[in-house]
Amino acid sequence: MVYELEPELWDAVSQAEPIHPAILAKLDVDGRRVLEVAAGSGRLTVYLCPRAAELVCVEPSSGLRRILAGRCRSADIRAGFFQKLPIADAWAALTISSASIPPDPGAVLELERATARGGMIALISPEDPAWFQARGWERLSFDPSQVVIGPHDPELEAIFGPLDPPHDLLWRRL
């Protein structure tokens, strides 16, 4: 509900928890067709936008889409959910999502449908990384204490709990 009712609050916490830089360094984005699923307000998008040949961002929250559009004007931003992505079959060379995909076989099938053969699906700190690993996904974990967290309103931690920057990368090539 925070996504819809208080998108600026959700944006503040996502900006306070940057993605581990080692994850960003591992992503093969340059010159590729990239699909970002559950893009939120653009924590990952700002990294993808200048590098991808084409970037489609799918986000269900209208408030987060509005913030995202201001951060990355060149992205094709679409309303949608990870269960039924508004994208053609096998469109993406890289399908990626940060902190959004649950351990759900249906969600994985939909990501696979959107990703071209030889392409890659990358999940940054998904729910229950062990579930994905048990199904053959590769995993790299990085030390979250290496992430520089900038100044932020302490109320964010009172509302959402301790900040936990995304620091796991799981991937699978099709």
Predicted pLDDT at 5: 83
Residue-wise pLDDT for 45-58, tens only, equals 999 999 999 999 99
- State whether residue 174 is helix, strand or coil: coil
Q: What is the pLDDT of residue 133?
A: 98
* 98: its two tokens: 């940060």
Distance, in Å, from the CA atom of 112 to the CA atom of 136, rounded to the nearest integer, reads 14
Q: Is 72 helix (H, G, I), strand (E, B) or coil?
A: coil
pLDDT at site 1: 66
Neighbours of 167 (CB within 10 A): 20
Q: Give the per-residue pLDDT at 139.
A: 98
pTM over 0.85: yes
**CATH number for position 164:** 3.40.50.150
**How confident is the model over 63-87, as a mean pLDDT?**
97
Tell me the mean pLDDT in the region 19-27: 97
Q: How many domains does the chain have?
A: 1
CA 103 to chain centre: 15
**What does the block give as tokens for 71?**
């951060």
Which tokens belong to 153? 């309103």
Q: How far, in Å, CA of 71 to CA of 137, rounded?
A: 31
Q: pLDDT over 90 for what percent of the chain?
A: 95
Could you tell me the residue range of the domain that residue 159 belongs to?
2-173
CB contact burial 67-91 (16+ within 10 A = b; e otherwise) = bbeeebeebebbebebeebebeeeb
- CA pair distance 121, 102, nearest whole angstrom: 14
